């Protein structure tokens, strides 16, 4: 088959019809994709294509991008890109999604940000958030440190949403004495959809940095399903709670920091209990990149062998049911395996730190209420009274093992970055 480029006008002849449209490169080489004259994209199995010919070669029009100049008196915000749809735009003439990373390209996409702050922007990485590893956290922290030393007033990190809350917790622990705001921003809807949340989330993050004295790590995403308010959530108390809704991120067991009104540009701080921006000496405390931290999920009909699979780990998070429960009680002939599960946890707790977190997400671990919980504490399971999400517990355990390996038992339940809340309120869930 002849070679084509994005945007080429092509004719595709099938057994029963002939299609006309713009060629779109498809990573699945078994299919041909074209944008029809109606505007819809269609994928066709190559084996069904009788012939395909070029009608007109696509030549991209040069788009003039306005130079971005600094305005005296405005804060300086650096946008670092790790990937995701938020910094991409669809070229509707070709149907292709194109990444945009330079300040000029961002201002062309989101012109409002040029009126909020002095913007600089660069590519730090281009990856799906599922591919993040501790090594990437270390790279991010170093790049943020570089911008803080260059006197940025704030840093925005664009990031895929799936593990955004893991990264926000990781950066919060790593960036000790952070003197400026670091705001992570993602997009739940791709930029080729009218319901995309990319623009509102990024602009709201810029407004938050420009108009407040907050310092620390946070996430800025939609508060509701409408393009009205964005919510700023503390980095160690956030979680993605929906696969596709624009308001997927919630503050868990803690209060959100602020609301940003996208239309008016106003920012409302929701409480005064936050670290304020001021001169501090930032210290980066990285992760050991070869650490193995496991997460074991309690479930019915569990077997001890499932837990023994974590023997080679350096630490383990138990994601318990209820108040922090695991099936460890032998109550009849059908539950003899539970005694083995208890012995497996006991053996693991002698080799590594084992901590408890909750499947319920909201609420607090309380292993004092029922005798199985007290037995788990007796064999060394940590985390009683913790309200950390499993993700934050995972990140904190890895960070402690990287930087304070001898003090994990002492520090796991100390409030280091706002992750240990004194009172669990009636936050939305």
Active site residues: 85, 161-162, 240
For residue 220 the two structure tokens come to 């800025």
Q: Which of 362, 397, 208 is nearest to 288 (CA)?
A: 397
> How would you classify the pairing of strands 175-176 and 154-158?
unpaired
For residue 306 the two structure tokens come to 């499932």
User: How far apart are alpha carbons 35 and 44 in whole angstroms?
Assistant: 11
DSSP lists the bridge partners of residue 52 as 12
Which residues have a Cβ under 8 Å from the Cβ of 286 and sit 6 or more positions away?
137, 138, 141, 174, 402
For residue 351 the two structure tokens come to 């080799």
User: How far apart are alpha carbons 388 and 357 in whole angstroms?
Assistant: 7
* Residues 132, 83, 215, 278, CA torsion sign: positive
User: How far apart are alpha carbons 362 and 257 in whole angstroms?
Assistant: 18
Q: Which of 99, 295, 130, 119 is nearest to 209 (CA)?
A: 119
Give the helix ranges, DSSP H, for 324-380. Answer: 336-351, 371-378
> How would you classify the pairing of strands 118-123 and 76-81?
parallel
Element holding 203 (H helix, E strand)? helix 198-211
DSSP lists the bridge partners of residue 154 as 77
Phi first, then psi: give them for residue 172, nearest 5 degrees: -60, -40
């Amino acid at each position: 088959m002849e070679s084509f480029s994005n945007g080429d006008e092509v004719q595709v002849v099938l057994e029963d019809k002939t299609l006309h449209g713009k060629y779109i490169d498809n990573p699945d080489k078994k299919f041909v994709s074209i944008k029809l004259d109606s505007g819809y994209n269609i994928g066709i199995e190559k084996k069904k294509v009788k012939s395909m010919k070029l009608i007109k070669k696509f030549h991209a029009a040069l788009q003039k991008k306005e130079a971005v100049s600094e305005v005296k008196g405005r804060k300086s915000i650096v946008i670092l890109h790790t990937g995701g749809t938020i910094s991409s735009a669809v070229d509707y003439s070709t149907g292709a999604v194109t990444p945009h990373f330079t300040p000029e390209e961002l201002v062309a996409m989101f012109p409002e940000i040029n009126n909020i702050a002095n913007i600089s922007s660069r590519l730090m990485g281009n990856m799906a958030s599922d591919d993040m590893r501790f090594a990437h956290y270390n790279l991010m922290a170093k790049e943020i440190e570089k911008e803080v030393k260059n006197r940025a007033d704030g840093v925005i990190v664009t990031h895929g949403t799936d593990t955004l809350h893991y990264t926000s917790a990781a950066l919060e622990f790593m960036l000790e004495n952070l003197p400026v705001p670091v705001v992570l921003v993602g997009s739940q809807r791709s930029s080729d959809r009218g319901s995309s949340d990319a623009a509102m989330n990024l602009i709201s993050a810029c407004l938050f940095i420009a108009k407040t004295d907050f310092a620390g790590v946070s996430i800025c995403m939609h508060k509701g399903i409408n393009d009205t308010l964005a919510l700023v959530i503390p980095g160690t108390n956030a979680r993605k709670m929906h696969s596709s809704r624009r308001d997927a991120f919630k503050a868990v067991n803690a209060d959100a920091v602020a609301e940003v009104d996208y239309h008016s540009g106003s920012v409302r701080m929701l409480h005064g209990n936050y670290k304020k921006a001021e001169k501090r000496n930032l210290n980066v405390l990285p992760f050991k990149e070869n650490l193995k931290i496991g997460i074991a999920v309690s479930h019915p009909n569990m077997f001890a062998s499932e837990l023994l699979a974590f023997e080679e780990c350096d630490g383990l998070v138990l994601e318990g049911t209820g108040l922090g429960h695991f099936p460890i009680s032998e109550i009849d002939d059908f539950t003899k395996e539970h005694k083995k599960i208890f012995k497996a946890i006991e053996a693991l707790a002698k080799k590594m730190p084992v901590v408890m977190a909750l499947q319920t997400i909201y609420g607090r671990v309380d292993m004092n209420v029922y005798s199985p919980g007290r037995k788990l504490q007796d064999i060394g399971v940590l985390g009683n009274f913790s309200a950390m999400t499993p993700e934050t517990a995972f990140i904190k355990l890895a960070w402690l093992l990287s930087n304070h390996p001898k003090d994990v038992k002492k520090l796991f339940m100390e409030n280091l970055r706002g992750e240990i809340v004194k009172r669990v309120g009636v936050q939305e869930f």
